[in-house]
């Protein structure tokens, strides 16, 4: 089928762009395009990130790709294809011709005029192809892996095993948006998986694996024999061993069914307690606190998010929660949970003996790797249940690949040292890299730069990087939540950057790290321009 293109439209002049610059231009009344000049070539792609619609001209231009200013997704300027995540779809890509008078003429596929996103071409199953690839896990890693396999030409049988009753969905929103419906969360409709012959086993869990026999045993009493397998079973939320933790109304929030159950329980008369200093605990207090009579956040640390953000930023987050009417109890914990004769939670007892009324207790205190079914499989497990991989997400066992939360995989931005990092963006990236290597067309190495994001009472927090830090340097206005926080190790190297109200600074740091460049304390000390370091991004291809 021949693509139907529009007539050429003059969107700008070549002189409107400097080298290594991108700008947004109007194509027609309803369509804007991102025009990029790099290495003396002009490219044009869609301007809206396919994740949440961020305007990409306010993002970061890297070497051959543009990075979203909000959450760090990356798209090729040559093809519009998504290369790093979050998100699923690619951008429309436009034909460009530069006239002798410098006019930049752009032509669009007519079907792209109605869409800000594009699904990459995918193949279907070929009955003559007897290979079977299995994806274990219906989370972000599994979903991207399955799609990428079909996009990269795998025509054998493709089975995706989903423990939950739902097709893959945007799990990030579960703790952030209490009123969301599963239909709006799901990445794709059932017809998508049917059209591309991706078998989805929903409500089915993996119970056992035999690497020697290349056989996966399932909870529906069936087995699947595979040629290659990708395991991305993620984590389960865990409850601490507190007396009374099994009472009704004591909840965790990880899956959509958790959200549904909490929504059934909570009323305007509820006393809500959230335990933990993690993002999950804070997001839960924000989401369901507005539906309760009273919301209390209890943490064993002095400030929330101290492990990630440090004390200074953590203290500001604490003030944000207090300003929003959330009661906070820091440097404390729950020693006992009390219930009534019907086993419903009624109160919690704190470390100092204080008794707080509690109708719903949400625990955001930890998680456990879902890898018990792999014990005895022949696949080596670490003591914590994670699994070591190489740069290609291959394990020590042939034809077994691992990704997502359970993968103890190399982190490019941290000298390729292994780590198991539970970030949504990284899980999707793992799914893509694993699929490329399973297909074997090319050998694709991990270049992982973790990127995390959350929204707390309307304030967007971004974080990129990984590693232990000894010091935090704050630049900007912390009180008004327009700041950048730099996290430095003992060698004065910046291992991570966080921000609020300062996009695209974290995306700039992520792109800097993805280019193999580093940032040090001395780079932050220009009094006339505290973000002068971002100019390093324009030195494309050079290592600093």
| Mean pLDDT confidence for 376-388 | 99
**What is the CB-side half-sphere exposure of residue 230 using CA atoms within 13 A?**
38
- Average pLDDT of the segment spanning 450-471: 97
Does 1 score more than 80 pLDDT? no
346 vs 421: CA distance, rounded Å: 35
CATH of domain 250-365: 3.50.50.60
pLDDT digits (tens, 9 = 90+) for 392-427: 999 999 999 999 999 999 999 999 999 999 999 999
The whole-number average pLDDT for the span 243-260 is 97
CATH 2.102.10.10 intervals, the chain:
9-114
Question: Residue 203: left if φ>0, alpha if ψ -120 to 50, beta else—which one?
Answer: left
Q: Is the pLDDT of residue 114 over 90?
A: no
3-state secondary structure of 117: coil
Show the tokens assigned to 201. 């086993």
Q: What share of the chain is helix, strand, coil (3-state, %, to 5)?
A: 20, 35, 45
C-alpha pair distances (Å), 471 with each of 415, 468, 525: 20, 10, 15
Q: Which of 265, 239, 264, 260 is nearest to 345 (CA)?
A: 265
Predicted pLDDT of residue 177: 81
As a whole number of angstroms, the distance between CA 406 and CA 410 comes to: 13
Q: What is the pLDDT of residue 113?
A: 85
pLDDT digits (tens, 9 = 90+) for 288-306: 999 999 999 999 999 999 9
pLDDT tens per residue, range 202-231: 999 999 999 999 999 999 999 999 999 999
Q: Is the bond into 504 cis (omega within 30 degrees of 0)?
A: yes
Q: Is the pLDDT of residue 86 over 80?
A: yes
* Segment 6-33, tens digit of pLDDT: 999 999 999 999 999 999 999 999 999 9
- Which pLDDT score, from 0 to 100, does residue 51 have? 96
Q: What is the pLDDT of residue 543?
A: 41
Place of tokens 């790290």: 513
* pLDDT for 481 beyond 50: yes
Encode burial over 463-493: b for 16+ CB neighbours within 10 A, e otherwise: bbbbbebeebbeebebeebebbbbbbeeeee
| Element at 532 (helix H, strand E) | none
pLDDT in tens, 345-365: 999 999 999 999 999 999 999
Whether the CA torsion 255, 161, 152, 443 is positive or negative: it is: positive
CATH class of this structure's domain 132-236+369-439: alpha beta
Superfamily holding 9-114: Rieske [2Fe-2S] iron-sulphur domain (2.102.10.10)
Stretch 60-88: mean pLDDT, rounded?
A: 97
Q: Which residues pair with 208 in a beta bridge?
A: 217
The answer to whether 74 and 60 are in contact (CB under 8 A) is no
Where do you find CATH 3.30.390.30 in the chain? 458-538
Asked if 354 and 273 touch (Cβ cutoff 8 Å), the reply is: no
- Asked if 327 contacts 296 with a C-beta cutoff of 8 angstroms, the reply is yes
What whole-number distance in Å separates Cα of residue 350 and Cα of residue 14? 66
**Mean pLDDT, to the nearest integer, of 373-380?**
99
In terms of C-beta distances under 8 Å and separation of at least 24 residues, what long-range contacts does 479-485 make, across chains too?
479/316, 481/316, 481/320, 483/313, 484/531, 485/309, 485/310, 485/312, 485/313
CATH class of 458-538: alpha beta
Q: What is the pLDDT of residues 307-340, one digit of tens each?
A: 999 999 999 999 999 999 999 999 999 999 999 9
The pLDDT confidence band at residue 542, using thresholds 50, 70 and 90, is very low
Residue range(s) of every CATH 3.50.50.60 domain in the chain? 132-236+369-439, 250-365
- Alpha-carbon distance values, 146 to 113, 170, 501 (Å): 28, 16, 35
For residue 539, the model assigns a pLDDT of 58
**Alpha carbon distance 334, 364 (integer Å):** 13
For the chain, give the mean pLDDT: 96
pLDDT tens, 488-528? Answer: 999 999 999 999 999 999 999 999 999 999 999 999 999 89
Coil, strand or helix at 12: strand
Residue 540 has pLDDT above 70, yes or no: no
pLDDT for the residue numbered 544: 40
State mean pLDDT over 149-176: 97
């Amino acid at each position: 089928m021949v693509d139907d293109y529009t007539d050429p439209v003059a969107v700008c002049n070549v002189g409107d762009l400097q080298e290594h610059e991108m700008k947004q231009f109007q194509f027609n009344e309803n369509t804007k395009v991102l025009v990029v000049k790099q290495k003396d070539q002009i490219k044009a792609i869609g301007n809206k990130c396919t994740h949440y619609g961020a305007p990409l001209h306010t993002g970061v231009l890297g070497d051959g790709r543009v990075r979203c200013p909000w959450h760090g997704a990356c798209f090729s300027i040559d093809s519009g294809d998504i290369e790093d995540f979050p998100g699923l779809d690619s951008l429309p890509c436009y034909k460009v011709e530069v006239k002798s008078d410098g006019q930049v003429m752009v032509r669009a596929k007519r079907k792209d005029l109605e869409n800000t996103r594009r699904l990459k071409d995918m193949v279907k199953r070929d009955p003559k192809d007897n290979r079977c690839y299995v994806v274990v896990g219906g989370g972000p890693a599994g979903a991207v892996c399955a799609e990428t396999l079909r996009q990269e030409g795998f025509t054998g049988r493709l089975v995706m095993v989903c423990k939950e009753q739902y097709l893959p969905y945007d799990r990030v929103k579960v703790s952030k948006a209490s009123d969301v419906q599963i239909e709006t969360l799901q990445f794709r409709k059932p017809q998508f998986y049917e059209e591309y012959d991706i078998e989805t086993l929903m409500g089915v869990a993996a119970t056992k694996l035999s690497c020697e026999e290349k056989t996966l045993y399932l909870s529906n009493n069936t087995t699947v024999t595979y040629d290659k397998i990708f395991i991305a079973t993620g984590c389960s939320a865990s409850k601490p061993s507190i007396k009374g933790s099994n009472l009704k109304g004591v909840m965790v929030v990880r899956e959509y069914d958790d959200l549904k159950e909490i929504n059934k329980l909570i009323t305007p008369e509820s006393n809500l307690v959230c335990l933990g200093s993690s993002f999950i605990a804070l997001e839960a207090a924000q989401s369901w606190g507005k539906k309760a009579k009273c919301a209390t956040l209890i943490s064993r640390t002095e400030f929330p998010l101290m492990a990630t953000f440090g004390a200074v930023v953590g203290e500001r987050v604490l003030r944000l929660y207090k300003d929003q009417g959330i009661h906070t109890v820091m440097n404390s914990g729950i020693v006992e949970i009390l219930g009534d004769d019907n086993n419903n939670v009624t109160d919690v007892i704190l470390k100092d003996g204080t008794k707080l009324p509690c109708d719903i207790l949400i625990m955001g205190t930890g998680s456990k790797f879902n890898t018990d079914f792999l014990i005895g499989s022949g696949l080596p497990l670490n003591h914590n249940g994670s699994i070591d991989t190489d740069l290609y997400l291959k394990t020590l066992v042939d034809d077994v690949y691992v990704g997502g939360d359970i993968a103890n995989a190399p982190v490019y931005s941290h000298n390729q040292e292994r780590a198991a990092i539970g970030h949504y963006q990284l899980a999707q990236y793992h799914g893509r890299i694993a699929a490329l290597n399973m297909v074997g067309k090319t050998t694709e190495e991990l270049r992982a730069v973790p990127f995390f994001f959350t929204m707390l009472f309307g304030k967007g927090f971004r974080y990129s990087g990984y590693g232990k830090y000894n010091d935090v340097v704050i630049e900007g206005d912390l009180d008004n939540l327009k700041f950048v926080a730099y996290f430095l190790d003992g060698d004065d190297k910046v291992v991570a950057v966080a921000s609020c109200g300062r996009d695209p600074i974290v995306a700039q740091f992520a792109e800097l790290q993805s280019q193999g460049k580093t940032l040090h304390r001395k780079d932050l000390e220009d009094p006339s321009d505290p973000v002068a370091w971002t100019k390093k991004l324009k030195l494309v291809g050079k290592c600093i």
